Amino acid sequence: MPRHALKVDLSETEHQELERWRRAGKTESRMLPRIQVVELAAQGLSSRQIAARLGLRRPTVLKWRRRFGEQRLEGLRDAPRSGPPRRYTAETERRILAQLDQSPPAGRARWNGRLLA
C-alpha cells in the first residue's frame, strides 16, 4: 500500500508564527529549513519537490511534515535528547557554589577542581 505524505494545512495563527520565526534574528539556523518545509507543504508541493527545492533528502522532508502534523508548531523544535544522567545532585551543586563564594585556602590564589573535591 503506498504511503502518502501528510497534507499540511496552516491556520492563520500558525502561518503568522512561522513568519515571525523566519524574520526573527535569533531563530536558530536549523529551524529555517523546517519552517520552509512546512510552508511549501502547505502550498501543496510534494515531498520530492520540497526536497529538490531546498536541497534536502526526502526522508528529512517527510520527518518534518510528520512532526508538524503530529505536534504542530512545537514539533518543529528539537526533541529532547536523553544524554547521560546527572552526575551531581542539586544539593552538591549548591554546596560547591557556596564553597566558591569563600576565599580559597591559605597560600592559594584561586579555587581549582582538586581543592574543591
Q: Is residue 2 part of a domain?
A: no
Which is nearest to 35 in space by CA: 4, 79, 43? 43
Would you say residue 2 has pLDDT above 60?
no
pLDDT digits (tens, 9 = 90+) for 59-90: 999 999 999 989 999 888 888 778 888 788 88
72/94 same-domain check: no
| Cβ 37 vs Cβ 50: under 8 Å | yes
> What one-character DSSP code corresponds to residue 3?
-
pLDDT at 64: 94
Q: Is residue 67 part of a domain?
A: yes
Cell of 65: 511534515
Domain count within the chain: 2
Higher pLDDT, 13 or 26: 13
Q: Other CB atoms closer than 10 Å to residue 117's CB: what's the count?
A: 6
> To which residue does cell 502518502 refer?
4
| Phi, psi dihedral angles at 43 (to 5 degrees) | -80, -5
19/62 same-domain check: yes
72/16 same-domain check: yes
51/22 same-domain check: yes
Domain extent, residue 34, equals 12-76
What is d(CA 51, CA 70) in angstroms, rounded to the nearest whole number?
Answer: 20
67/111 same-domain check: no
64/100 same-domain check: no
- The predicted model gives 43-72 an average pLDDT of 94
- Whole-model pTM? 0.64
Cell of 63: 520527518
